[in-house]
């Protein structure tokens, strides 16, 4: 938390979080989340968005908790004014768009009255995104020229209903109802009584734009029964109109290859995103449960010295993408120019590590197809002669504190002169902001992915039983053998030790080509 150092008032940003899919948040919204000193959020803003905040950002939940009411609106308004006195940048994160039935107008009014500077960042409303994710375009040239958005649940404090049921029934085009699930039957009946054609197609889309999305299509006359039968409840968007007939043809989200699959990602938080976003793109409900965290090596001085001395070696050998990242972060803190590296040849343990090296403009001279230390040694045996052999050659081996020592031992055996450069350490991750541990215990999962031996060990240390029927995917043979140490046999193993291959194995296991 960065508290205000003087009496100037901070700015409060009313930011639309979009309907659920983190990818549907605006670029401006994300920038503000990344720089926020405090975030005030409620139940409809996805936990994944909070992961974008700085580590010291204060996060204040004002939504409903099981058995508890949400914070009263007047208290939220007052809290925002207080936050402005305390933090330079407060983000008030609101599901969908802040001004579409989000009471954002009231929050802004109180901020204005208190003289607090505020800005509004509109968001994608569930009123539009919900139907779109269910294959329903809210307007369509063949069906309508207008759409109406209304709430099915008015402010309980209002003395009488101001909902214009006859007006809505008589309106042309698509009608979209938010907050309408608890009184769905009454509203549909009232609309029909007011002249709405009961055979008009209608749909309810629950948890739209999230992997839990479910959609029911029926007619105005039958929707309440269909929803009850399917067990659909809030939050849902109800759509009434001929556009609903497009859903079977235009549905795309529920047809994604991993739609509805709950997949656990155990990588470190900083590494998880590539795997998580790929799985989410394929429709999976990704549950991030980082089990390890990358930290500095215990001996930072030794590491720094090894980096300073690296130009003197004939070979640099990298055992992991993390090693490459940490090594070059330190390298560029000392040297400005990549040419300071000298003429060293480069070896990588596998394609993932080589890809990280490519980011700093380095191509590899030796790399096995499978990312395993033994394979790297075999590759040196096969190709080493091309480079004059390894005997009496100086090598700097960049690796993690807890890795295996195969590379060191085998190269020394072949008379190479190997120095070690321990670039990082892995420690158990103790934070779980998304509450994945509980979700995993309570809801289970379809697949758990393991991307290294340490993710296996640290997952096991959490003592969460592998849920019934949950299958295991391993990134490669070393991870697989660690799983076997714990009596677990993976149901699939990536063909090459990298993320695309791991995703492919997940797809195959899920019955996709
Ligand atoms: N400001 C929000 C609406 C807040 S009112 C927006 O622009 O989307 C809350 C209502 O929004 C819910 O009762 C539900 O009708 C709808 N809603 C929000 N997110 C939703 C989602 N992911 N799926 C379905 N309905 C959603």
CATH topology of domain 262-291+429-509: Rossmann fold (3.40.50)
The answer to whether 491 is a known catalytic residue is: no
The pLDDT of residue 158 = 62
Domain with CATH 3.30.950.10 in the chain: 128-255
- Are the beta carbons of 253 and 24 closer than 8 angstroms? no
Q: Which of 181, 235, 253, 285 to mutate to test the pocket of ligand 1 (most atoms within 8 A of CB)?
A: 235
Sequence-ordered list of residues with C-beta below 8 angstroms from that of 92, at least 6 positions apart, any chain: 12, 13, 14, 15, 39, 40, 41, 80, 98, 104, 107
Q: What is the mean pLDDT of each run of 10 residues along the chain (513 residues)?
A: 62 96 93 96 78 88 73 92 96 96 93 96 97 97 95 68 89 96 94 97 95 93 97 96 96 92 83 83 87 88 95 95 94 93 93 93 92 90 86 95 89 94 88 77 91 89 87 94 95 92 94 77
Of the residues 58, 179, 365, 383, only one is catalytic, namely 179
The pLDDT of residue 156 = 55
Phi/psi at 105 (nearest 5 deg)? Answer: -60, -40
Evaluate: CB of 476 within 6 angstroms of ligand 1. Answer: no
d(CA 303, CA 397): 11
The answer to whether 25 is a known catalytic residue is: no
End-to-end CA distance of the chain: 48
The pLDDT of residue 159 = 59
The pLDDT of residue 293 = 81
**Considering the entire predicted model, what is its pTM?**
0.72
Looking at the DSSP bridge assignments, the partners of residue 94 are: 16
Report which ligand 1 atom has the smallest distance to the Cα of 209: 22
The pLDDT of residue 277 = 85
Evaluate: CB of 125 within 6 angstroms of ligand 1. Answer: yes
Evaluate: CB of 474 within 6 angstroms of ligand 1. Answer: no
* Structure tokens belonging to residue 504: 């492919």
The pLDDT of residue 433 = 65
Domain 128-255: homologous superfamily in CATH = Tetrapyrrole methylase, C-terminal domain (3.30.950.10)
- Are the beta carbons of 108 and 59 closer than 8 angstroms? no
- Are the beta carbons of 14 and 118 closer than 8 angstroms? yes
Tallying the residues shown for the chain, one arrives at 513
Separation of CA 436 and ligand 1 centre (Å) = 23
- Which residue is closest in CA terms to ligand 1's atom 5? 101
Evaluate: CB of 20 within 6 angstroms of ligand 1. Answer: yes
Looking at the DSSP bridge assignments, the partners of residue 91 are: 13, 39
Of the residues 21, 25, 37, 42, only one is catalytic, namely 42
The pLDDT of residue 5 = 47
* Structure tokens belonging to residue 52: 């974008």
CATH number of 297-426: 3.40.50.10090
Q: Residue 158's CB: how many other CB atoms inside 10 A?
A: 9
Burial class (CB in 10 A: 0-12, 13-18, 19+), 53: buried
Evaluate: CB of 177 within 6 angstroms of ligand 1. Answer: no
Sequence-ordered list of residues with C-beta below 8 angstroms from that of 122, at least 6 positions apart, any chain: 16, 26, 97, 98, 99
Separation of CA 332 and ligand 1 centre (Å) = 47
Of the residues 54, 64, 358, 437, only one is catalytic, namely 64
Domain with CATH 3.40.50.10090 in the chain: 262-291+429-509, 297-426
Domain with CATH 3.40.1010.10 in the chain: 11-123
d(CA 502, CA 494): 5
- Are the beta carbons of 138 and 131 closer than 8 angstroms? yes
- Which residue is closest in CA terms to ligand 1's atom 25? 236
Residue in 160, 122, 115, 141 with CA at minimum distance from that of residue 16? 122
Q: Does the domain formed by 11-123 have CATH 3.40.1010.10?
A: yes
């Amino acid at each position: 938390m960065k508290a205000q150092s003087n009496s100037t008032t901070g700015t409060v940003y009313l930011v639309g979080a979009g309907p659920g899919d983190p990818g549907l948040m605006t670029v401006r919204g994300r920038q503000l989340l990344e720089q926020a000193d405090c975030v005030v959020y409620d139940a409809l803003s996805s936990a994944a968005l909070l992961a974008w905040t700085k580590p010291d950002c204060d996060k204040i939940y004002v939504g409903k908790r099981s058995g508890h009411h949400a914070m009263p609106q007047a208290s939220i308004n007052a809290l925002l004014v207080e936050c402005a006195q305390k933090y330079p940048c407060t983000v008030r994160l609101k599901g969908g768009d802040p001004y579409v039935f989000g009471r954002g107008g009231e929050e802004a009014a109180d901020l204005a009255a208190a003289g607090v500077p505020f800005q509004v960042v509109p968001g994608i409303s569930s009123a539009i995104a919900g139907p779109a994710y269910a294959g329903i375009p809210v307007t369509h040239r063949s069906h309508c020229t207008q759409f109406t958005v209304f709430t099915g649940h008015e402010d309980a404090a209002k003395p009488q209903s101001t909902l214009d049921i006859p007006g809505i029934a008589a309106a042309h085009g698509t009608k979209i109802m938010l907050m309408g699930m608890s009184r769905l039957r009454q509203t549909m009946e009232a609309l029909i009584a007011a002249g709405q054609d009961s055979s008009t197609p209608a749909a309810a889309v629950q948890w739209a734009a999230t992997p839990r999305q479910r959609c029911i299509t029926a007619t105005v006359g039958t929707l309440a029964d269909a929803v009850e039968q399917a067990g659909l409840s809030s939050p849902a968007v109800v759509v009434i109109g001929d556009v609903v007939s497009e859903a079977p043809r235009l549905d795309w989200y529920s047809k994604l290859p991993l739609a509805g699959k709950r997949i656990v990602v155990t990588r470190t938080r900083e590494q998880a995103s590539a795997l998580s976003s790929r799985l989410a793109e394929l429709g999976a409900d990704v549950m991030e449960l980082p089990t390890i965290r990358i930290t500095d090596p215990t001996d930072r001085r030794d590491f720094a010295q090894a980096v300073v001395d690296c130009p003197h070696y004939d070979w640099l050998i990298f055992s992991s993408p993390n090693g490459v990242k940490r090594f070059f972060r330190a390298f560029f803190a000392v040297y400005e120019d990549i040419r300071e590296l000298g003429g060293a040849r480069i070896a990588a343990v596998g394609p993932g590590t080589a890809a990280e090296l490519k980011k700093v403009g380095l191509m590899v001279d030796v790399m096995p197809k499978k990312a395993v230390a033994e394979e790297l040694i075999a590759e040196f045996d096969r190709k080493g002669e091309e480079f004059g052999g390894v005997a009496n050659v100086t090598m700097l081996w960049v690796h993690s504190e807890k890795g295996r020592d195969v590379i060191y031992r085998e190269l020394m055996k072949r008379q190479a002169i190997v120095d070690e450069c321990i670039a990082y350490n892995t420690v158990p991750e103790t934070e779980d902001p998304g509450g994945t541990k509980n979700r995993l215990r309570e809801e289970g999962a379809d697949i758990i992915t393991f991307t290294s031996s340490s993710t296996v060990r640290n997952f096991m240390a959490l003592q969460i039983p592998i849920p019934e029927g949950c299958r295991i995917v391993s990134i490669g043979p070393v991870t697989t053998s660690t799983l076997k140490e714990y009596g677990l046999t993976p149901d699939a193993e990536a063909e090459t030790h990298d993320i695309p291959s791991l995703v492919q194995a997940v797809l195959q296991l899920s019955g996709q080509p």
